[in-house]
């Protein structure tokens, strides 16, 4: 048996951290089946060179020739570029990777005595404002821009089930629904009610009876996240709120360069560090590879290679705890390669 993994470094530091994640996977040896890597193209650089950001071949190889994948990061310009649309958003849709699962946990107790963070942001990955239906019209008083925000019962229910399932496997078993239904009572209202009703679904048959449900309006959720992050276990949110919350949560554990994610569907999983392409540090060899390495571990966990995933996580946590070999985002002086070597030694 072989495990076929698509590698899509894409742009910026994605090209530095995905090779690092590959080396960590290769170091696992007999804990995994034989590994087969497929290097695949996507990204804004590719678009500027070839006019396409996500070649059909990349999607085909992922769909028909891979068991899982690792994605780096894309550089998406903040202005509209004709013909360009983000390949990661497209890939999540193409492969129906409807859940973006982002665990944020502190490794060691905070030296200032703050309580440890140990939460998962479960972000709906296919709709909300990310359907990218925007229009611009000229009115008498100037331009007018509109965006469609799509929330469906179908997508809210399946992300809700995913959140409850994840909570069930954790000690605290608590789901917090993040919304803004005091203002957006139709869209966020539907999300909130649908997720709340998950434990009563006939097909769930009492499975989630031991899971507690809380809810929090998104703005005060950010506030409480900074003041008392220990209250959160599993936070489930529509796409945009989940995106913002997970970057915010990353600040609590020291760096975006530490926070992994997987894009998960019912039949495919794609690991992806939460950070972007970091153009400010690209090409300098100083990007923190640990988010990408942890994303590889999270991918393995979803493929049920729990022991291999544990080994990687332990190695990463030891490197962080020890504190001698850290990149600059964590206050160290080490290069990407030196951190990778430190992880590999522990593997």
Is-catalytic flag, 219?
Answer: yes
- The tokens describing 237, both together, are 């949110």
Which one of ligand NAI, Mg ion, none interacts with residue 279, CB within 5 to 8 A by kind?
ligand NAI
243 in active site = yes
CB of 245 to Mg ion, least distance (A): 10
Structure tokens at 233: 């276990």
Give me the least distance between CB of 209 and ligand NAI, in Å please. 36
Q: Binding string, 75-94, against ligand NAI, x = CB under 6 A?
A: xx-----------x------
Site membership for ligand NAI, residue 9 (CB under 6 A): no
Q: Where are the beta strands (DSSP E) in the chain?
A: 2-10, 34-39, 68-73, 99-105, 118-124, 134-139, 142-147, 174-179, 212-217, 234-237, 262-264, 269-271
Choose from Mg ion, ligand NAI, none: what does 281 bind? Cβ within 5-8 Å by kind. Answer: ligand NAI
106 binds, among ligand NAI, Mg ion, none (CB under 5 to 8 A by kind): none
The answer to whether residues 122 and 191 touch, using CB atoms and an 8 Å cutoff, is no
Q: Say which entry of ligand NAI, Mg ion, none residue 45 contacts (CB below 5 to 8 A, set by partner kind).
A: none
Q: Is 288 in the site for ligand NAI (CB under 6 A)?
A: yes
Is the four-CA dihedral 162, 93, 91, 277 of positive or negative sign?
negative
Q: Is 110 a catalytic residue?
A: no
> What x-and-dash track marks residues 16-45 binding ligand NAI by CB under 6 A?
-x----------------------------
Q: What is the DSSP letter of 115?
A: P
Based on CB atoms, which residue is closest to ligand NAI, 187 or 336? Answer: 336
Q: Which of 110, 219, 266, 307 is catalytic?
A: 219
Judged by CB under 5 A, which of 188, 243, 272, 329 binds Mg ion?
243
Q: Which is nearer to Mg ion, 243 or 329 (CB)?
A: 243
Among this protein's residues, is 280 annotated catalytic?
Answer: no
- Please calculate the CA angle 48-43-89 and round it to the nearest 5 degrees: 125
Among 233, 163, 166, 240, which residue's Cα sits nearest to residue 195?
163
Token pair listed for 35: 């590994």
With contact defined as beta carbons under 8 Å apart, do 135 and 145 qualify?
Answer: yes
Q: Where does this chain touch Mg ion (CB under 5 A) — which range of 154-162, 238-246, 315-323, 326-334?
A: 238-246
Cα Rg for the chain, rounded, in angstroms?
20
Sequence-separated (6 or more) residues with CB below 8 Å from residue 115: 228, 229, 230
Closest residue to Mg ion, judged by C-beta, is 243
Could you say which of Mg ion, ligand NAI, none residue 288 binds, taking C-beta under 5 to 8 angstroms by partner kind? Answer: ligand NAI
Q: Is residue 247 flagged as an active site residue?
A: yes
Judged by CB under 5 A, does residue 329 bind Mg ion? Answer: no
Would you count residue 100 as binding ligand NAI (CB under 6 A)? no
Contact status, residue 71 vs residue 14, Cβ threshold 8 Å:
yes
Burial code (b: 16+ CB inside 10 Å, e: under 16) for 65-103 equals ebbbbbbbbbbbeeeeeeeeebbbbebbebbebbbbbbb
Q: Given the rule CB under 5 A, which residues bind Mg ion?
A: 243
Q: Given the rule CB under 6 A, which residues bind ligand NAI?
A: 13, 17, 73-76, 88, 256-257, 275-281, 287-288, 291, 327, 329
């Amino acid at each position: 048996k072989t495990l076929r993994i698509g590698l899509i470094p894409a742009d910026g530091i994605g090209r530095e951290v995905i090779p690092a994640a590959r080396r960590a996977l290769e170091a696992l040896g007999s804990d995994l089946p034989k590994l087969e890597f497929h290097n695949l193209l996507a990204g804004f650089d590719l678009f500027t060179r070839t006019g396409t950001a996500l070649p059909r071949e990349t999607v085909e190889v992922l769909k028909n020739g891979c068991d899982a994948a690792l994605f780096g990061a894309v550089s998406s310009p903040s202005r509209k570029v004709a013909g360009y649309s983000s390949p990661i958003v497209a890939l999540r849709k193409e492969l129906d990777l409807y859940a973006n699962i982002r665990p944020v946990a502190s490794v060691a107790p905070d030296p200032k005595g703050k309580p440890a963070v140990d939460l998962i942001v479960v972000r709906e990955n296919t709709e909300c404002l990310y359907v990218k239906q925007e229009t611009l019209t000229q009115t008498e008083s100037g331009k007018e821009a509109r965006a469609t925000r799509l929330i469906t019962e179908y997508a809210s229910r399946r992300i809700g089930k995913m959140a409850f399932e994840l909570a069930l496997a954790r000690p605290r078993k608590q789901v917090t629904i993040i919304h803004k239904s005091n203002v957006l009572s139709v869209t966020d209202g539907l999300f909130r009610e649908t997720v709340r009703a998950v434990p009563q679904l006939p097909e769930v048959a009492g499975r989630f009876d031991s899971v507690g449900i809380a809810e929090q309006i998104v703005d005060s959720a950010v506030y409480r996240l900074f003041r008392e992050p220990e209250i959160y276990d599993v936070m489930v949110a529509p796409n945009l709120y989940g995106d913002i919350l997970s970057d915010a949560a990353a600040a609590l554990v020291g760096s975006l360069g530490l926070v992994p994610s997987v894009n998960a569907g019912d039949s495919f999983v794609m690991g992806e560090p939460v950070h972007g392409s970091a153009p400010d540090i690209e090409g300098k060899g100083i990007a923190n590879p640990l988010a990408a390495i942890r994303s590889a571990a999270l991918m393995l966990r979803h493929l049920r290679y729990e022991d291999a995933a544990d080994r990687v996580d332990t190695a990463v946590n030891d490197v962080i705890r020890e504190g001698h070999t850290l990149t600059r985002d964590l206050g160290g002086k080490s290069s990407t390669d030196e951190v990778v070597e430190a992880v590999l030694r522990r593997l």
